Amino acid sequence: MKKILSALLCYCLLSCSTLANSPARVAIIIDDMGYRYTDKHALSLPGDITYSILPHTTFGKKLAVAANENHHEVLLHIPMEATNGKKLGPGALTIDMDERAIYQSLQKSFEEIPFAIGINNHMGSRLTELYEPMAWTMLFLKQNDLFFLDSKTSPKSQAEQAAKDFGVPVKARHVFLDNQLDSEYIKGQFLELIQLANKRQIAIAIAHPHPETIENLQQLIPTLAQYNIELVPLSRLYPTNSLAKHSGMVSE
């Protein structure tokens, strides 16, 4: 930890001109929530973490309710078909579904967690590359005043374009924090998040409720303020007029 904090301090000093401006903002989304009892430990993370819940899972609804009651924003983490053929789980969207099937599946997921304010994709490296199912997904989101976060599991994702075409508020993930469950890797990815935030003024990271991730983020998140970076709910990174329906849902 001392090594990574020293690196962060050096970066801070080199970036002092940037830091003199208004704070940069980051959002951290913890997704894959719902299958494990131990996922509840992610709710102890400090600050305005956003939680993304897998639909129709053993602990998903209970975790979503707990997060919402503690004034955290909640997304639905919708499984989407991947190129590797991995098992998707309940509430999944696949390439053989038509518009009606996609609409009904999403509707059922939101009936379980009606206070969710948008979705991001779980896997989806195959489905997100196809415009038509993404267009059907965005039509549902538009009709329900919801937003989309592209997890960017494929560089060929058409989700962002489809969202823009249908007028759905959309952002994309910049950094995965824990593709490797190694402390030095997670700390290095957190440093990348800081660098991106100070360069772009906003940055979005996705992580998962692994014990290694939670342990490291418990220590790393409080350091953001030292670098003039504010941790915010995900919706704060979207245009304010596009999320008027949800502006009073979560206290900040």
CATH number for position 77: 3.20.20.370
What is the structure's pLDDT at 252?
27
Total domains present in the chain: 2
| Displacement of CA 58 from its chain's centroid (Å) | 21
> The dihedral of CA 213, 38, 218, 212: what is its sign?
negative
What is the structure's pLDDT at 240?
73
203 shares a domain with 136: no
Of 191, 199, 136, which is closest to residue 168 (Cα–Cα)? Answer: 136
| C-alpha–C-alpha distance, residues 88 and 123, integer Å | 8
| C-alpha–C-alpha distance, residues 204 and 169, integer Å | 15
Residue 50 lies inside a defined structural domain of this protein:
no
pLDDT, one tens digit per residue, over 204-237 is: 999 999 999 999 999 999 999 999 999 999 999 9
153 shares a domain with 90: yes
239-to-56, 66, 249 alpha-carbon distances in Å = 30, 27, 16
Residues of the chain with pLDDT under 50: 13-14, 16-19, 244, 247-252
What is the structure's pLDDT at 47?
97
157 shares a domain with 95: yes
Q: Which stretch of DSSP H or E encloses residue 52? A: strand 50-53
Which amino acid is located at 31 in the chain?
A: D
What is the structure's pLDDT at 251?
30
125 shares a domain with 113: yes
What is the structure's pLDDT at 18?
46
Average pLDDT taken over every residue of the chain: 91
Q: Which domain holds residue 202?
A: 1-7+24-43+174-226
145-to-133, 154, 173, 200 alpha-carbon distances in Å = 18, 25, 21, 27
Contact in structure between 166 and 144 (CB atoms under 8 Å): no
84 shares a domain with 129: yes
Per DSSP, which regions of 85-198 are E strands? 118-123, 147-150, 170-172, 175-176
97 shares a domain with 109: yes
Residue 190 lies inside a defined structural domain of this protein:
yes
Q: Rounded to 5 degrees, what are φ and ψ at 41?
A: -65, -25
Pinpoint the alpha helices (H) of 169-225.
Answer: 183-200, 211-220
What is the structure's pLDDT at 86?
86
What is the structure's pLDDT at 1?
57
